[in-house]
């Protein structure tokens, strides 16, 4: 299943495709026509998953199964920082 988060004031959205067990496989910033501008995998790649994703102003904040909280620049997907949360 594909969940999305609308970007306020933009013609873009975050696409959050699910893993087989219901977590989030990757985060994608997509244009309305479906073109992917950027894609970010969890910190430990395919062996990891995102458990929560939210917008915080002009950043995306995502928590991973491997206990990282990662901040991403909304416009580029570039990682701005991460904190181990366990």
**What domains, with CATH codes, occur in the chain?**
2-84 (2.40.10.480)
* Cα distances (angstroms) measured from residue 9 to each of 12, 13, 39, 62, 75: 9, 10, 21, 21, 13
With beta carbons less than 8 A apart as the criterion, state whether 41 and 24 touch.
no
DSSP category for residue 85: -
Which residues have CB under 8 Å from 77's CB, separation 6+?
27, 29, 37, 38, 39, 40, 60
Query: Which pTM value belongs to this model?
Result: 0.94
So what's the pLDDT on residue 2? 81
pLDDT at site 1: 67
Please check whether residue 43 is in contact with residue 82, taking contact to mean a CB–CB distance below 8 angstroms.
yes
Q: What distances in angstroms separate CA 70 from CA 31, 34, 51, 86, one per listed residue?
A: 22, 24, 11, 13
> What are 27-81's pLDDT values in tens digits?
999 999 999 999 999 999 989 999 999 999 999 999 999 999 999 999 999 999 9
């Amino acid at each position: 299943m594909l969940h999305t988060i609308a970007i306020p004031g933009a013609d873009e959205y975050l696409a959050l495709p699910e893993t087989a067990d219901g977590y989030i496989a990757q985060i994608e910033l997509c244009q309305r026509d479906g073109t992917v501008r950027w894609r970010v995998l969890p910190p430990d790649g395919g062996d990891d998953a995102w458990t929560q994703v939210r917008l915080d102003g002009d950043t995306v904040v995502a928590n991973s199964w491997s206990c990282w909280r990662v901040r991403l620049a909304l416009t580029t997907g570039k990682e701005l920082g991460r904190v181990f949360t366990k």
